[in-house]
Structure 1
Amino acid sequence: MTTTHAPRTRFINANVIDTRQGKVLADQQVRIQDGRIVALGAGPLEGEDDQVIDLEGRYLMPGLVDSHVHVTAITPNFALLETLSPFYVGAKSSELLKDMLMRGFTSVRDAGGADHGLANAVEEDSLIGPRLLYAGRALSQTGGHGDMRGPGQQTFEGCFCCSGLGRVCDGVSEVRRAARDEIRKGATQLKIMASGGVSSPTDRIDSTQFSLEEIDAIVEEATAANIHTMAHAYTARAINRLIPRGVKTIEHGNLMDEESCRLFLEHDAYLTPTLSTYDALAREGVEAGMAPHLQQKVYDVLDAGAKALEMAQRHGVKMLYGSDLLGRMQCHQLNEFLLRKDVVPADDLIRAATCNAADAYGNRGDFGEVIPGARGDLIVLRDNPLDDISVLTQPDQQLLMIMKGGKIYKNTL
């Protein structure tokens, strides 16, 4: 794939999507220099040496952000994943990363598995993909959502330093050490496995995981490092003990309740629904490599996810866009827009996939908006996604240009 990089680029005749206000700014010029937006306005912008791109009224908006991915989850069989060569997993991950960028995602937040090596390779353009924010290994208690040993397994054939998504730690001292270790390795956020899950063999969906003291220790270490925490949690019982302790984003949340919504608002926390992964797992999980007995756990949360989405939208809970897809099912990454669109208006959906993510991560103004100072992470669309959100789900027909950090990775204008 050919990429082009101009130190200065100026878009003219652009209809700019204002993600915060949910409106179109007509006939704008946008100037990019050294990977950042330096000017925006309706009048002519100065720049003698600019590469000028005439958008002819097409729609310019920030690149999309997926706040829950697993770029190293090349299979939904996590026990198998932990036995694979990390070189093989990295090679296969490169394909997943490139496909994400080609769908318009210029930033993704990895929820367990990716590390500084992959993030650096993307930053250097050794791998083509979205900017990668990574949690390193998700923190899990013994027998928790990150422990892939079966109930009769006495030994572990893989190792917790290879290609898995999580690491097991128990007790305040261990979780504190594990949190510090992931921070040492450059984690941009910490991931807590705080309830049971679908893909783990020995826990129950409705279980809570980690003691309050352990959770406090993890959040304290993240806060000390000026990064945020994200927590895997399904039930209201799990969610409602996490948010007051400073966890910034709740992943999934399918079985939340009204009290959960109140806590989200009170503590300025964010919900990341991941409807697309349950839809995909129910339809093709076993064919994609998931064990049949684990696929059955999907149905415990499948229908509840839509109800939780409606509840969150009704209460005004701020949400992020998350797909959480595994293996070959990652091709359905844009389906989350379609699964939410009957409940969530287009402007809110766009905010979830742009500026809300920057706010939740503590990076307001750095990405997710077309404003001076923000990264030059931009996409150009043929039609207006505020009028029809499905525009964002048709990259082959609608996505005309992809720019990340001022570099153009796709241009069919």
Structure 2
Amino acid sequence: REELQMGADQIKIMASGGVASPTDPIGAYGYSEDEIRAIVAEAKARHTYVLAHAYTAEAIERAVRCGVRTIEHGNLIDLPTARLMAEKGAYVVPTLVTYEALANEGAKYGLPAASVAKVADVRDAGLRSLAIYREAGVKMGYGSDLLGPSQRLQSDEFRIRAELLGPQAVIASATIVGAEVLGMEGRLGRIAPEAFADLLVVEGNPLRDVSCLLGQGEHIPMVMKAGKAEVDRLGG
């Protein structure tokens, strides 16, 4: 209630342990089921929803059963739990680039050795999870969850997912599906009347090769926000 009073748009909970955190095992539960249901009820009362950090199938299953709408990360999913998510209309937001960054750079930025070791448990599983979610029909949003200087790697999420799902699916996750997650269908993620004019001009065809979306915008000469050019290297 306090977070919503202070202007939060959604509520995120920790429904399992974490990778970067050294003291909670990945399989640990963050809240009791009664607590999750109470949080979900409060969010619904304010016409919003709850998202949950969760890795294991068990943590995901209990969160979704208690009314959580989106699962963040979700690496250790199994097919029955993914099918439950699809049945309940829940979304997942994989964050695969995070584990690549933590494995390569985590120690350099001060991540404890125990936390770096946890990365191996979820990194490969995260790649396998994409096929499970696809088979079950779970809609996937787009996220990165990168920390500090690793933010520069954010767009590599396109590369990782496109190798398994293809360019069209990963672009849809960042546009159409993302708009659904936020409850802003028709206003975000589409080029259409009445939508926010948040547009990119891209050098290349990302439906054929997503590399034009990678890096720090080297192949994106124009960015428009709400119809106004924020970046314009086209000279127009």
- What's the TM-score, normalizing by structure 2? 0.95
- After TM superposition, the structure 1 = structure 2 runs for residues 222-241 of structure 1, keeping only pairs within 5 Å, are 222-241=43-62
Q: Please state whether the residue corresponding to 1:305 is helix, strand or coil.
A: helix
Matched, 1:409 2:230: yes
- Where in structure 1 do 4 or more consecutive aligned residues deviate above 4 Å? none
Partners of 1:202 and 1:397 lie apart in 2 by 40
Matched, 1:263 2:84: yes
1:407 is displaced (CA, Å) by 1.9
In the alignment, is the contact (CA less than 8 A) between 1:261 and 1:315 conserved in 2?
Answer: yes
In the alignment, is the contact (CA less than 8 A) between 2:76 and 2:126 conserved in 1?
Answer: yes
Hey, what does 2:24 align to over in structure 1? 203
Q: Which has the larger radius of gyration?
A: 1
1:395 is displaced (CA, Å) by 4.7
User: Which of 86, 94, 98 in structure 2 is aligned with 1:273?
Assistant: 94
| Greater share of strand | 1
1:293 is displaced (CA, Å) by 2.2
Matched, 1:332 2:157: no
Matched, 1:285 2:97: no
1:394 is displaced (CA, Å) by 4.4
Partners of 1:396 and 1:192 lie apart in 2 by 32
1:244 is displaced (CA, Å) by 2.2
1:316 is displaced (CA, Å) by 2.3
In the alignment, is the contact (CA less than 8 A) between 2:79 and 2:132 conserved in 1?
Answer: yes
Partners of 1:359 and 1:241 lie apart in 2 by 23
- After TM superposition, the structure 1 = structure 2 runs for residues 159-238 of structure 1, keeping only pairs within 5 Å, are 180-238=1-59
Partners of 2:4 and 2:218 lie apart in 1 by 41
Give the alignment's Cα RMSD to 1 decimal: 1.2
| Greater share of helix | 2
Hey, what does 1:315 align to over in structure 2? 136
- What's the TM-score, normalizing by structure 1? 0.55
In the alignment, is the contact (CA less than 8 A) between 2:15 and 2:54 conserved in 1?
Answer: yes
Unaligned runs of 5+ in 1: 1-179
Q: What amino acid does structure 1 have at the position aligned with 2:229?
A: I
- After TM superposition, the structure 1 = structure 2 runs for residues 36-115 of structure 1, keeping only pairs within 5 Å, are none
- After TM superposition, the structure 1 = structure 2 runs for residues 382-397 of structure 1, keeping only pairs within 5 Å, are 382-397=203-218
Partners of 1:291 and 1:327 lie apart in 2 by 15
Partners of 1:280 and 1:201 lie apart in 2 by 17
In the alignment, is the contact (CA less than 8 A) between 1:240 and 1:259 conserved in 2?
Answer: no
In the alignment, is the contact (CA less than 8 A) between 1:288 and 1:329 conserved in 2?
Answer: no
User: Which range moves more in the overlay, 305-314 or 217-226?
Assistant: 305-314
User: Which of 375, 379, 386 in structure 1 is aligned with 2:200?
Assistant: 379
Partners of 2:146 and 2:217 lie apart in 1 by 21
Partners of 1:305 and 1:382 lie apart in 2 by 30
Deviations 1:292-334 (A, max 9, x none): 2222111121111111112112332110111000011111000
Unaligned runs of 5+ in 2: none
Deviations 1:26-47 (A, max 9, x none): xxxxxxxxxxxxxxxxxxxxxx
Hey, what does 1:369 align to over in structure 2? 190
Q: Please state whether the residue corresponding to 1:324 is helix, strand or coil.
A: coil
- After TM superposition, the structure 1 = structure 2 runs for residues 2-21 of structure 1, keeping only pairs within 5 Å, are none
In the alignment, is the contact (CA less than 8 A) between 1:320 and 1:353 conserved in 2?
Answer: yes
Partners of 1:296 and 1:236 lie apart in 2 by 20
Indicate the percent of aligned positions where both proteins have the same amino acid.
47
